[in-house]
Amino acid sequence: MLRMEHVDKEYHHRGKLVRALHNVTLEIERGEFVAVVGPSGSGKSTFLLLFGGMLSPSSGRVLFDGASLGDLSAEERARLRARRTGFVFQTFNLVPYLTALENVMVPLFLAGMEESAQRERAEGLLARVGLEGRLDHKPSELSVGQQQRVALARMLANDPEVILADEPTGNLDPETSRSILDFLVELHREGKTIVLVTHDPRVAERAGRSLRLVEGAIVEDGRHEFAVVG
């Protein structure tokens, strides 16, 4: 499903060369739930952005379902993300002047869906994350946990095959973090492929496979019995 072949990613920062990833080769199979762990600056977010086609490798190849992302145009990569990939970020990235319902409708509008169908699907998704009573609330009128739930509902708008989550529980209290992770586990059991970046080993334990990144290289790749919801 997702594959990296001898991937390096380098940046120039203030005149210095920074190697974010070094000679990474791995494959993530369809339907896996993979946690990527490691200290700050280890290359975790770069890893995720490469799989999302939002960055290109300095060398090597990144493949999505057998297609090399580097061989696709920017427009083709954008279409691939819109159709098949969902993103969840620590900072939520909600539009502040739109309501919860309108935030979830944005990707449906961009996909060309009829407005009545947009509204029906967005309402259903918000109900699924427990926010059926908050449709008309703007982000500033919601708790941090509720904002993340809106972000999850928006991420599901295009029914993605792959979910890329960058520290989705990083700003949340322990109880809300557990509920968000329970929801991701539920999505995995429905067949979604999930790649989750975290610095917290307790979060990583909820996945079926953990990759440990240190200074841009994979130093551990382990599988364990999948955790029970709750």
For each of the chain's 230 residues, which pLDDT tens digit applies?
Answer: 999 999 999 988 888 888 999 999 999 999 999 999 998 889 999 999 999 999 999 999 999 999 999 999 999 999 999 899 999 988 899 999 999 999 999 999 999 999 999 999 999 999 999 999 999 999 999 999 999 999 999 999 999 999 999 999 988 888 999 999 999 999 999 999 999 999 888 889 999 999 999 999 999 898 865 444 44
Rounded CA separation 158/107 (Å)? 7
pTM: 0.92
The dihedrals phi and psi of 114, each to the nearest 5 degrees, come to -60, 145
Contacts of 200 (CB under 8 A, 6+ apart): 37, 169
The ranges assigned to domains in the chain are: 2-223
What pLDDT score was predicted for residue 228? 41
Just give the CATH number of 2-223. Answer: 3.40.50.300
What pLDDT score was predicted for residue 230? 40
- Pair type for strands 67-68 and 85-89: unpaired
Rounded CA separation 11/170 (Å)? 25
Structure tokens given for 222: 């382990």
